[in-house]
């Protein structure tokens, strides 16, 4: 998860702490309805925890940050539209590849990417589902596709579509777009998605308690 700001970065946004400052409008997707939004929330919470904050301090930080969110779109694409087309907000928090696509397209002159000091790793999952491939007789084909994903040729395709490649050599060739960034995983910081969902996003969880008192 990284930031997209308007040309010139008028609010001088550099890290997650800036998103909680008064006068900064932050656009994120709704964490209750969007994976994009959940990653944004967890990235900000994890940043604060890595600074040595207690859960109570992280709670207060997130309350200040979410108080700066003028609208919570139901999904990541809606949040992007709100920021880039409706002109709402000073910063959009979204996936790195979404920022890359915007900056490679018509928004190149209007927006800039900002990389925070640390973020959550949002790697798209990939798996072979046994009962599906066995039913359809596609195990060999599925395995071939899965193996191909991690070859240099496939990693080049991935990079061209603004997704961060795992291959170090390919990553180095695209260093201008994929800047170095320190990351943590949901497993490392939150004990996995099941636990993160239960603690933060389930009804009555941390997120609900934060937004109930954010005004």
Residue 108: per-residue pLDDT: 75
Mean pLDDT of 98-117: 88
38 pLDDT exceeds 60? yes
- CB count, 10 Å around CB of 93? 30
Across the chain, mean pLDDT equals 94
Closest Cα to residue 126, out of 160, 101, 163? 163
Residue 60: per-residue pLDDT: 96
Mean pLDDT of 129-148: 96
Q: Which domains does the chain have, with CATH numbers?
A: 2-124+180-212 (3.40.190.10), 130-173 (no CATH)
Instruction: Kindly list the strands in the beta sheet with 111-114, ordered across the sheet, starting from the edge strand earlier in the chain.
Output: 72-73, 26-29, 91-94, 2-6, 111-114
Mean pLDDT of 136-161: 96
pLDDT digits (tens, 9 = 90+) for 64-81: 999 999 999 999 999 999
Binned at pLDDT 50, 70 and 90, residue 2 comes out as very high
Closest Cα to residue 6, out of 86, 63, 75, 123? 86
Q: What is the percent of the chain with per-residue pLDDT over 90, rounded to a whole number?
A: 91
């Amino acid at each position: 998860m990284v930031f997209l700001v308007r040309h010139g970065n008028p609010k001088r946004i550099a890290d997650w702490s800036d998103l909680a400052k008064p006068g900064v409008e932050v656009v994120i997707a709704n964490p209750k309805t969007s994976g994009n939004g959940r990653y944004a929330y967890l990235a900000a919470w994890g940043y604060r925890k890595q600074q040595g904050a207690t859960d109570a301090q992280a709670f207060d930080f997130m309350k200040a940050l979410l108080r700066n969110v003028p609208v919570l779109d139901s999904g990541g694409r809606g949040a992007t539209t709100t920021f880039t087309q409706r002109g709402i907000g000073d910063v959009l928090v979204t996936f790195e590849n979404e920022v890359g696509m915007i900056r490679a397209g018509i928004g190149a002159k209007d927006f800039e990417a900002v990389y925070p000091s640390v973020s959550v790793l949002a790697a798209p999952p990939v798996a072979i589902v046994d009962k599906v491939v066995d039913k359809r007789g596609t195990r060999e084909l599925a395995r071939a596709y899965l193996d191909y994903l991690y070859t240099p040729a496939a990693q080049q395709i991935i990079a061209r579509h603004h997704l961060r490649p795992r291959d170090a050599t390919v990553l180095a060739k695209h260093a201008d777009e994929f800047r170095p960034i320190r990351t943590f995983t949901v497993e490392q910081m939150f004990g996995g998605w099941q636990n993160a969902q239960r603690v933060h996003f389930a009804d009555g969880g941390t997120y609900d308690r934060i937004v109930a008192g954010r005004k």
